[in-house]
Structure 1
Amino acid sequence: MSTVLGVSCADGVVLAGDRVVASGGHVRSRSRRHVFDFGRVGFGVVGADVDGFADRLASEIRTYRTERGDLDIEPFTRMASDLATEFDAAVLVVARDGDGRPALRAVSPDGGVTADDVAAFGSGASVALGALEAGHDPDATLDEAAALARDALSAAAERDAGTGSEYDSYRLSA
């Protein structure tokens, strides 16, 4: 599958995700992005049709911006939630809240939404989440949060064949 994770800290939010695509116990690709950067918003996604989900959400983002301007966390989360159920995808979204602070939301494949300081989805999620929870510091800098995200993905890659060692990341600073 793959693994995506998010970490909130005093300086902002970091998303990270590896590039592996695995199914049926075999690695199919080591070059698919799972983390996407749209400037003031970003998302990480795992599921069967990552490209289809990413294309549709990118289209929704462009339409929203054209019609209404900047996108904050609430409408962005609703968009991702609606598409998650359609694509059976698990998604982490990052955008600014109503007060302008970076926010992280986890959207499950059934469309359920949770807000937490750390989150992970995918085949290595349990290992990554354990590493995130053990090392999370809400007062950390963005660089420290990025290092924690990298270390959590590395731990997942060591223990999960569906998680790779190469990754992409997205940062939204406070």
Structure 2
Amino acid sequence: MSTILGLSVAGGVALAGDRVVTSGGHVRGTRTHVFDFDTLGVAAVGDDVDGFVDRLENEIRSYRTERGPVRIIPFARMASDLAAEFDVSALVAAPDESGDPCLRSVAADGSVTDDAVAAFGSGTSLALGALEAGHDPDATLDAAVTLARDALASAAERDPGTGDDVDVYRLSA
């Protein structure tokens, strides 16, 4: 299935995800699970990631045209509205009203939570274990990216649905 994760630290928010695509217990190929929309980032896993990201990109473009910059609350709402339709779980990063980077988890049922560390996908428990053991809320963004890569590497060692090729999105404080 692939694994995505996110963590929030003093230096910003990092999202990371591997590129493996599995189906029926077999690796079927690779695809990007982490997407960069300028000051907005999303990492997604699920049935129709491509459809989810296409619609989300359209929603972002429309919001920016009509209302201006997208902040975390409307961005999380957009992702939440689309998650159930596309059977996708996502992690979203965006600035709040004061410009501080924020992380939200969006489950496939559309529920949204505010988390400092989060993960979805086949290696969730392995990635979360590594993230929680090494998470320092006062860390730099570079340290967060290193921890994210290490957590995915740890998951990839034990989970056949998580791969070694990793993409990262950074939102600096």
Offset at residue 98 of structure 1 (A) = 1.4
Per-residue CA distance 1:7-47 (angstroms, 9 max, x = gap): 110010000000000010100012x0000000110100000
Per-residue CA distance 1:44-83 (angstroms, 9 max, x = gap): 0000111111111011111111111100000000000000
Give the structure 1 partner of residue 61 of structure 2.
62
Give the structure 1 partner of residue 48 of structure 2.
49
For 2:164, the aligned partner's letter is: S
TM-score normalised by structure 1 residue count: 0.98
Structure 1 unaligned runs (5+)? none
Give the structure 1 partner of residue 117 of structure 2.
118
| 1:122-161 paired onto structure 2 within 5 Å | 122-161=121-160
Offset at residue 88 of structure 1 (A) = 1.1
Name the CA distance, whole Å, in 2 between partners of 1:16 and 1:67: 30
Name the CA distance, whole Å, in 1 between partners of 2:158 and 2:47: 21
Query: Which consecutive aligned stretches of 4+ in structure 1 deviate over 6 angstroms post-superposition?
Result: none
Give the structure 2 partner of residue 14 of structure 1.
14
How many residues get paired?
173
Determine what percentage of the aligned residue pairs are the same residue: 69
Offset at residue 116 of structure 1 (A) = 1.1
TM-score normalised by structure 2 residue count: 0.99
**Which stretch of structure 1 is more off in the superposition, 61-70 or 146-155?**
61-70
Name the CA distance, whole Å, in 2 between partners of 1:10 and 1:147: 15
Name the CA distance, whole Å, in 2 between partners of 1:8 and 1:78: 19
Name the CA distance, whole Å, in 2 between partners of 1:66 and 1:168: 29
